[in-house]
Amino acid sequence: MERVCFTARIRRDKLAEYTERHGRVWPEMAEALRAAGWTNYSLFLTRDGLLIGYLETDDFAAAQQRMAQTEVNARWQADMAGFFDGIGDLRPDEGFNRVAEIFHLE
């Protein structure tokens, strides 16, 4: 199992709305994530806009590719794009900064 941590930056003026929208993620988006192999997926958000994501999957590159092929992901990424800082023309899910795992207590 591959453990994945990533960061991104949410615009400060959009923190409340970003949080609220994730309280009601589209059911078809949640199902697509599960079907693509994203398990134990969590997002954390600091008051200054640092977004930290964590998930477990068998193969992150393959899981990302499976999501990229879904219509619901294209809609979700387009809907969320205005919340992110520093990603330029990338979709939000293409702008993740992956964090290297250096320790795991098991």
Note if 104 is an active site residue: no
HSE (CB half, 13 Å, CA atoms) of 25? 16
Instruction: Say how many Å lie between the first and final Cα of the chain, rounded.
Output: 13
CA distance to 38, 40, 66, 75, 106, per residue, from 19 (Å): 20, 18, 25, 18, 31
**Catalytic residue, candidates 12, 17, 19, 22:** 22
| The one-letter amino acid at 41 | Y
d(CA 48, CA 62): 31
Q: Hey, which residues are catalytic here?
A: 22
